[in-house]
A = this chain, B = another copy of it.
């Protein structure tokens, strides 16, 4: 049952498309899951894709469209008129997907597409959704949901649900609202199954409902849904009125994007890139971090040049430059990463900044002592200069402790001033620690000799 895209299948499909072999497409493609079809289309050219799309009914075509990679979808839609986009695709999408697709279109096309929509309610839902800022709960939510009034009976409720359900693919939760649309609770399908048809909703609904304001950030949405294991989260306006719902599948993507962003930051990549992107996109995404590294290297060179005369006399001082610089950078990234993850998971607890720094000092001290002792033993055996041996170990200890403290302090401060703390795992901290490390090393060296 589960589909796997192979090179061979792709080759046969291309031949079939070229030969206009509708039978192959009907037998092998049309019944696949939209996500699988999209996977196939992501590998085809826009022209080939267009030919395939003609074989799908409108509903399938719309479902496939949503699953495409953004750049593939963009190219495909660019080859259609605004009327085609509206009638063949947007009219068949759920409001949140529809708003997402329209949101990606060029500014001048957006209004044109909306003006061609046949379903007026759908159009007004979409216009409404487009008003919410990207990255907020409002921009994530959809309008399709089942809401019942508190004073209805189960029987009326079932009837209304049947009516509403025709428009909705999947019933996540039944929401209970007041006459004025204020969200007051949920109704479980199980409870409905087990209760006599004449009971009133108000007597059986569950008043403990977790909701979110439309203006909340999507990180908050993800945290709440994850914490409370929700598969749908109702969205309310300033007056507490139910205006939409967010489903877990959209939030899984948010969660993944969030972690990927932090991961890319820690790896020194500034944009969301994939290995299939163009060479210059990949280059551009990586250059900023390299330039900062370059600048750091130049500063490092200047620090070392201060000690040029010493180096002429004791060239062996240069041996351990990479060690000191690398260890400073590594320890800094480790410390920052733990804080960044704690902030992302909301798991830092209540300890104040001083407590944290003290603990980090202890971790740094312990790691520093172990590493310094090891390198001292090594140098005792392999290094001729006592001065150098002591310098390296002392400098290493100092660098590890300082880097640990910096690595903890910087993301906490960034977070306090509402800057993304993941920045700290990136260029700045590493470069700073590199330079600081060199400074400590040569300063101690100049004292020793």
Contacts and interface: CB of A to CB of B under 8 A. Distances in A.
B43 A349 contact: yes
A190 B211 contact: no
A143 interface: no
A273 interface: yes
Contacts of A293: 323, 326-327, 330
Copy count, this protein chain: 2
A279 B371 contact: no
A371 B331 contact: no
Interface residues of A, number: 125
A298 B378 contact: yes
Contacts of A342: 274-276
A226 B254 CA distance: 12
Contacts of A308: 315-316, 319
Contact of A260 (B312, B341, B370): B341
A438 to B, nearest CB: 6
A327 B290 contact: yes
Interface of A: 1-2, 7, 10, 31, 33, 35, 43, 158, 161-162, 165-166, 168-172, 188-190, 193-194, 208-212, 224-231, 248-249, 252-253, 255-256, 259-260, 262-264, 266-269, 273-276, 279-280, 282-283, 286-287, 289-291, 293-294, 296-298, 300-302, 304-305, 308-309, 311-312, 315-327, 329-331, 333-334, 336-339, 341-342, 345, 347-351, 356, 359, 362-363, 366-367, 370-371, 374-375, 378, 400, 425, 430-431, 434, 438
19 contacts: A1-B208, A165-B190, A231-B249, A263-B337, A275-B348, A275-B356, A276-B342, A279-B359, A289-B334, A293-B323, A293-B327, A296-B323, A300-B319, A302-B319, A304-B318, A305-B316, A308-B319, A311-B311, A312-B312
